[in-house]
Structure 1
Amino acid sequence: MPNTPLHIPLINPNEIEAQVTAIHIREGQRVAQGDPICSLETTKSSFEITAPHDGYVVGIQARTGQRVIANDIFCYVAELPDWLPPENPVQASAEPAAEVPAGIRITQPALILAHQNKIDLQLFSTEHLITEKLVQAELNKRDQSEITLPQGEFAPTDIVVYGGGGHGKSIIELVRAVGKYSPKGIVDDSIPSGEQILGVPVLGNYDLLSVLRANGLRLAANAVGGIGNVALRVKVFQRIAESELICPELVHPSAFLEASARISAGTQIMPFAYVGSEAVVGFGVIVNTGAIISHDCVLEDYVNISPGAILAGEVHVGSGALIGMGVTVNLQVRIGSGARIGNGATVKADVPEQAVVRAGSAWPV
């Protein structure tokens, strides 16, 4: 019977962190194959780690409530209860250690190649695992003397979508539904140029933005959702602004906004969402499918409201906060900047900045 490390899985491709919501075993406990070890939760889903075989739990590395990273070792299932787990192994490599920016997922060969060629990992999207192939594609771009642009001049309604992941697909569909703009291409920091996403070509990485602007492009849409790290979404907005491109508000025709509601540039309001009387929606906010923003609510910049969330009247959500799917927020509650409210939670009182409310829970506990 092997001594098996149990790794934290990547539950959500856009979110490398998870929270340990319950630990079902204790150090040295005997378990049978399939017994629950611990429960994990991200902002979008939950997961239970189970024993891969009979044995003893050894070397528990986390506690309930702690945030853990995908691929971290949670514990071992060992043949004997007194087996000692090894020290954290160090990768044997002649290459110096390279720092990986928060939210970036990259294979070891890709990391070595990027380090050897001094490639900035911030060029890549967090929505994809960075492989050696993607890093090589980035290297190949350096050798291109010319950039292939869409044929013809840009029309005033042409728009480029920054990000070709899952949210990128939603934004392409949203742009088409709005009907005022034409998606001319995709800029993505990890998808090779030339690929097609929903019939829209990937043109290149963010270096292309200034070239597109110089050739007459005026509009861009930020399709980096930033669920795991809102700073990445903010950074994309900064890159778009530095290239002197404008992010228009995008409101799906099936969404309903009261006449007195105010929305800002860069806002993305998805199908069947509702924004109530005198609500204020800040720059770069996402109001996702079927969400309800009641009267007099204030959503500061970069807030992400997930599908089906309901905010009662006069709720104030601080910048960069994430409200999960199906969340209910009571009247006049204030949610602090950077807070993360898990799916299905009920929020009855103010939430501090950067706080995490567990999915399915009632706040305050």
Structure 2
Amino acid sequence: MNKPIIIIGNGGHASVLTEILLLQQRDILGYTAPSQEANSYRVKYLGTDKIIETYSPEEVELVLGLGTVHISTVRHTIFVKMKKLGFTFVTCIHPKSIVSLTAILAEGTQVMAGAIIQPHAQIGENTIINTGVIIEHDCLIGAHVHIAPGTTLSGGVIIGNESHIGTGSSIIQGVEIGKKTLIGAGSVVISNIGTSKKAYGVPAKEV
């Protein structure tokens, strides 16, 4: 049974998720933010994130509406905090995306319009698969990762936890990218990149 949803955040990423939830005819209770802001979907402002703790985990579910443009611990921190309080995060999948029946999506995964996730791919919790992303067969994507719009991952690619893969990047088959690593927009990655690195270019090189 679907529970009412609280959206954490009210920016651009939250608006994309709001539209997915409305397309799925989910009941949105409201959003949280540091202060009340305009909301084009007329979603109710509930208060700061602290207000979530006044609800029971049995009566609401959460959607994390904060995006990232670089390596950030904010999404990870909020996700872990709310999980410790017993809350569940909704896995949001746009109806215009394609997700293989054999793909595995962990809790809180967000799949945007036009994304394709092929057979036996595995996506970690709280990870964003953004608009038009292609995740080919047998890829392993860690937790709290952001694969930015228009990125292509060929078969068997591995992405470590908390990494950010910039818009329009391409990663060839079998490449492994470590944890907390930033791949710059438009990069072509043809060899492994280590942990806590920054890399960009064609081909991508560590900086």
The alpha-carbon deviation at position 355 of structure 1 amounts to 1.1
Q: What code does the residue aligned with 2:10 have?
A: G
Partner of 1:201: 44
In structure 1, which of residues 289, 292, 306 is the aligned counterpart of residue 134 of structure 2?
292
Q: What code does the residue aligned with 1:177 have?
A: L
Q: What code does the residue aligned with 2:203 have?
A: A
1:242 aligns with 2:84: yes
Paired residues, number: 206
Distance 2:39 2:61 in 1: 20
Distance 1:178 1:266 in 2: 16
Distance 2:70 2:155 in 1: 27
1:130-172 per-residue CA deviation (whole Å, 9 max, x = no partner) reads xxxxxxxxxxxxxxxxxxxxxxxxx943100001112111111
1:177 aligns with 2:23: yes
1:249-289 per-residue CA deviation (whole Å, 9 max, x = no partner) reads 11111110111111111000000100011000110110001
Partner of 1:330: 172
Contact 1:230–1:302, Cα closer than 8 Å, also in 2 = no
Distance 2:91 2:140 in 1: 17
TM-score (norm 2): 0.93
Partner of 1:186: 31
Distance 2:24 2:115 in 1: 14
Contact 1:262–1:281, Cα closer than 8 Å, also in 2 = yes
1:170 alignment partner, SS class: helix
Q: What code does the residue aligned with 1:192 have?
A: Q
Distance 1:159 1:274 in 2: 25
Distance 2:170 2:70 in 1: 21
Alignment of 1:209-288 (within 5 A): 209-213=52-56, 217-288=59-130
Alignment of 1:131-170 (within 5 A): 156-170=2-16
Distance 2:190 2:143 in 1: 23
Distance 1:227 1:202 in 2: 25
The alpha-carbon deviation at position 225 of structure 1 amounts to 1.6
Distance 1:364 1:227 in 2: 20
1:318 aligns with 2:148: no
Where do 5+ consecutive residues of structure 1 fail to align? Answer: 1-154
Q: What code does the residue aligned with 2:18 have?
A: I
In structure 2, which of residues 173, 188, 202 is the aligned counterpart of residue 361 of structure 1?
202
Partner of 2:193: 351
Distance 2:71 2:187 in 1: 20
The alpha-carbon deviation at position 354 of structure 1 amounts to 1.4
Moved more, 320-329 or 205-214: 205-214
The alpha-carbon deviation at position 229 of structure 1 amounts to 4.3
Identity %: 25
Contact 2:117–2:134, Cα closer than 8 Å, also in 1 = yes
The alpha-carbon deviation at position 218 of structure 1 amounts to 2.3
Distance 1:345 1:234 in 2: 25
Q: Please give the root-mean-square deviation of Cα atoms over the aligned residues, in Å.
A: 1.8
The alpha-carbon deviation at position 361 of structure 1 amounts to 3.2
Change (3 A) 1:273 1:156: closer
Contact 2:70–2:182, Cα closer than 8 Å, also in 1 = no
Where do 5+ consecutive residues of structure 2 fail to align? Answer: none
Distance 1:278 1:319 in 2: 19
